[in-house]
Chain A
Amino acid sequence: MNAHTTELVVFAVLFLAVSVMGFVAARWRRPENIESLHEWGLGGRSFGSWITWFLVGGDLYTAYTFVAVPALVFGAGALGFYALPYTVVVYPLVFLVLARMWSVSHVHGFVTPADFVRARFGSPTLALIIAITGLVATMPYIALQLVGIEAVLKAMGITGHLPIVIAFAILAAYTYQSGLRAPALIAFVKDALIYIVIIAAVVYIPAKLGGWGHIFDSAAAKFAKTPAPADGILLTGANQLQYVSLAFGSALALFLYPHSLTGVLASKNRNVIKRNMSALPAYSLVLGLIALLGFMAIAAGTKPIVGPGGKADSNTIVPVLFDQLFPDWFAGVAYAAIGIGALVPAAIMSIAAANLFTRNIYREYINRDATDAQEAKVSKLVSLVVKVGAVLCILLLDPQFSIDLQLIGGVIILQTLPSVALGLYTRWFHKGGLMAGWAAGLAAGLWMLYLTPNPANGKLHFGGSAFALKNLGLDTPMTIYTGFLALIVNLVVAVLGTLLFRALKVRDGEDATSRDDYFADEGDPRVKDLDLAGSH
């Protein structure tokens, strides 16, 4: 362990510094009373362009992304680069949608996507479905942030779970106290560190390895030697459709995750959101460069750390590469960037999950007359429960289980698209049609995931999100993103179901929103006494 002392010291100092920031954040932009979800859970809905940029960027580009994307590029090549088109496509795609979501949430005081669905379709049941889908998709994502920290700790020679437990205990304590203000403040440090590390990495490492041309050539040579036909530094005929549908499907899914919306709703007006849609791609550039670390690792001959079970942990590729090539103190900075990079999204995700529980389960089914202070109290407690759950997931279960769950999470969160995203544009769908579509999409998605094996680790089921079209009887080696196909099933059933329910004259819910709500801006009147029942 001595070889890593400098790294450890730098890592620990930076980690402690942001922990202090997390607690101090409670006083930052201090409101008169933090005991409401608008304050604790959304930072007072007052964040301007800069804070939103750091917060949303810090939220979307997680520690797990930083270790898993280059690991995928390292293992599969060009396919792993889907993360770049994904994050180019997403911002123009949601540009108008998020502004509408912000406006209607501003007017009605919505905190979660399920709040919106509740009011728009007048259906507590549909809202509950959306809330539970969000919870199920978010939980494994939080657990994966721990996988990110663990990869870094492993590279520093630290094994055992105690450090993870301590890190999450600190995180839980300051999230409890400061709410969304904590990750908002820490995001400044996280993003600054990430930018410094990546800029240094793309200048320093290629120079050390003999230039970019050589890096790509070494990668091409490695993939040419492997038996797998689909890897390489370019796409093949078999995985182009997968690349495109995965990039597009992931872009559709990103802002359906409750935690992505939390950052958006915390901004103070529509222009902050629109301006950020053109500023957030700065992170896409960083992500693209991070992905290429996978090729650098190939050129540098990096070997992933082999665990006690004899299984190589490909997520350790980037930390090991840094250890190999950076001076110790800077490797420490890089590790801190990844470690802190786990804290920001983990905090926001646990806040988003807690808000879902509070607003759409507690308030709906347990205490209908909950006060603002009671809501804040419940959310704070649930945010603790969520983090304990995430730690237990990692301690008790194979981390592979969390990775599988997160894969499923992406597929199922897409099934909320007709209610949440299309709902912002049209009230045409019948609530029953939306529920039927959701169920059909979910069933189709799980069935396709079940049929997908992973030859790399010998798993027969839930082995990835690339669904082979030959399962449908098509004579082709092509694969497609499971979530994308499942969404199509969902939409078809939602449309047919709506037509059917209309024809049978089944009662539909009432819409509590009006057309103007979708274009309201800062300073416009709000619905003061929130009436989600739609009886006004």
Chain B
Amino acid sequence: MTTREPGRPRTDRSPWNWLLVVPIVLPLLTFLFNSDEPRLLGFPLFYWLQIAFIAVGVTCTTIVYRMTK
């Protein structure tokens, strides 16, 4: 739970929030991943890179959560 500092209005503003923009924008840039090669374990780039973006999303939201708790 957040502890309340007297006299200072609460806010959810933080420079860390900008990190959330990364996993929002990255998966929408089709030119990054719309290709068959290079393949990874038989997966075309299109599939393995987008699956890898899940990890980017988890990392960014976890960092923002920890730093703004």
Interface string of A275-296 (1 = CB under 8 A from B): 1011001001100100010000
* Chain B residues touching A, majority SS: helix
Q: Which residues of A contact B50 (CB under 8 A)?
A: 81, 84-85, 88, 288
A window 89-135: CB within 8 A of B: 89, 91-93, 95-96, 99-100
Contact in complex: B58, A244 (CB < 8 Å): no
Contact in complex: A96, B17 (CB < 8 Å): yes
Contact in complex: A247, B27 (CB < 8 Å): yes
Partner of A516, one of B9, B23, B36, B65: B9
Given that A240-B30, A248-B28, A521-B2 are known contacts, is A89 also in contact with B23, CB under 8 Å in the complex? Answer: yes
Q: Which residues of A contact B27 (CB under 8 A)?
A: 84-85, 88-89, 247
A81 to chain B, nearest CB (A): 7
Interface size class of B (residues with CB under 8 A): 35 or more
A203 to chain B, nearest CB (A): 12
Interface string of B1-28 (1 = CB under 8 A from A): 1100000011110000100111110011
Of the candidates B17, B34, B39, the one having the most CB atoms from chain A within 10 angstroms of its own CB is B34
Partner of A233, one of B2, B42, B44, B54: B44
Contact in complex: B51, A212 (CB < 8 Å): no
* Chain A residues touching B, majority SS: helix
Chain A residue nearest in CB terms to B61:
A278
Bound: A200/B30 CA distance, A: 30
Any B CB within 8 A of the CB of A78: yes
Bound: A458/B60 CA distance, A: 45
Q: Which residues of A contact B28 (CB under 8 A)?
A: 85, 89, 244, 247-248
Any B CB within 8 A of the CB of A471: no
Contact in complex: B42, A95 (CB < 8 Å): no
Q: Which residues of B contact A92 (CB under 8 A)?
A: 20-24, 57, 60-61, 64
Bound: A181/B51 CA distance, A: 33
Any B CB within 8 A of the CB of A216: yes
B18 to chain A, nearest CB (A): 11
Given that A96-B17, A278-B58, A519-B10 are known contacts, is A216 also in contact with B51, CB under 8 Å in the complex? Answer: no
A window 196-253: CB within 8 A of B: 206, 211-216, 220, 233-235, 240, 243-244, 247-248
A270 to chain B, nearest CB (A): 8
Contact in complex: B9, A288 (CB < 8 Å): no
Contact in complex: B20, A95 (CB < 8 Å): yes
Any B CB within 8 A of the CB of A528: no
Interface string of A283-320 (1 = CB under 8 A from B): 01100100010000000000000000000000000000
B22 to chain A, nearest CB (A): 8
Contact in complex: B65, A212 (CB < 8 Å): no
B window 39-64: CB within 8 A of A: 39, 41-44, 46-47, 50-51, 53-54, 56-58, 60-62, 64
Q: Which residues of B contact A78 (CB under 8 A)?
A: 46
Contact in complex: A88, B42 (CB < 8 Å): no
Given that A233-B36, A234-B36, A244-B30 are known contacts, is A288 also in contact with B42, CB under 8 Å in the complex? Answer: no
Bound: A216/B43 CA distance, A: 7
Given contacts A78-B46, A269-B1, A281-B54, 15 further A-B contacts (CB under 8 A): A84-B54, A88-B23, A88-B56, A91-B57, A92-B20, A95-B61, A96-B12, A206-B42, A234-B34, A234-B44, A271-B65, A271-B69, A277-B65, A278-B65, A285-B54
Residues of B that sit less than 8 Å from A by CB = 1-2, 9-12, 17, 20-24, 27-28, 30, 34-36, 39, 41-44, 46-47, 50-51, 53-54, 56-58, 60-62, 64-65, 69
Q: List 16 A-B contacts (CB under 8 A).
A: A78-B46, A88-B56, A92-B23, A92-B24, A213-B39, A213-B42, A234-B44, A235-B46, A243-B30, A244-B28, A277-B65, A278-B57, A278-B62, A281-B57, A519-B11, A521-B2
**Shortest Cβ-Cβ A-B pairs, 10 listed:** A212-B42, A213-B42, A85-B27, A519-B10, A278-B61, A92-B20, A278-B62, A274-B65, A92-B23, A240-B30
